[in-house]
Structure 1
Amino acid sequence: MLLEPSLYSINSILILDSEGKRILAKYYDSSFPSVKLQLEFESKLFKKTSKTNGAEITLLDGATCVYRNVGDLYFYVVGDANENELLLVSALQCLYDSVSQALKRSVEKKTLMDNLDLIFLIVDELCHNGILLESDATALVSRVGARTDDIPLGEQTVAQISLFTISSLWMYL
């Protein structure tokens, strides 16, 4: 069966803690119309992924789920069963890299909770109504206004480097 291509490729973005409790959840379609169904799905997803070692992709309830475990956090990007896994992995990588840059490489539950407003902005800039908007973490972080002073020079955009250079020159004048 040939399916029509669609821009709406992401069904949900989730961040769960080490106990499987929701920290952040954005659902972009009606696969799970109630909070109860969403929590049940998240619980099943966590149970399935927390027992695996190194796997980054799984199928659950007709959905393709890519995930990453970092310390006490689990990052998930969920799409349809027939969705391109590389696109989902790209979204997941951008999400993690953006959060890592915004939190100054301290990706842990406490730091994430202290900056939850920034994390919601990152997710909103990453994906809108299921459409992946950005895959460059540095551009995404600069757009949400996170301070990037500690980001290595090689990972900064030309605009960030120019702004830093200009502000440094003004200090000497």
Structure 2
Amino acid sequence: AIATVGRQIVDGQSQEFSDFQITQPLSVQQGDGFVAAFPASETRFTYGIDFSVPAIGNQWYSYTANPEIFAKEIAPARTFTLKEQVEQLRQAGLIKGGSLDNAIVCDNHQWLNPPLRYANEPVRHKILDLVGDLSLLGFIPQAHYLAYKAGHHLHVQLVQEISK
């Protein structure tokens, strides 16, 4: 589905919806987390996470938008959580479709369902989340997206800023 964002079918042909580019820096912040979009000559995502849990730790990943690389390097990255949060999430009805096949779970020191698909799978999944949230626009504006310690809430705030 993400591969078709920003496209429409006209007379049986897929066409670009928009060539929208970010022309001035935009950012949203909460605590020490932020998401920003900067004017750029290509669409790029740079993301950082920092967890006190040693199994996750501090990770950074940068990716220049490309459908083939997205399919191989970003889309397969599974969501992740801490073992201590699983029951709380389940009680809140937030992980009804979650399983050890589509999510990775760690305790303080190790992954409980290895192997990881990538050594930095958690931060790659955060890029996947950001791409998905930007897709709410119906297209992904050309920009360099930079995020640190962010999540869906900040991603959606950036989407709202872009749509103004």
Same-fold call, TM > 0.5? no
TM-score calculated relative to the size of structure 2:
0.29
TM-score calculated relative to the size of structure 1:
0.28
Using CA pairs below 8 Å that are at least 6 residues apart, which structure has the higher relative contact order? 2
Larger radius of gyration: 1
Whose helix fraction is larger, Structure 1's or Structure 2's?
A: 1
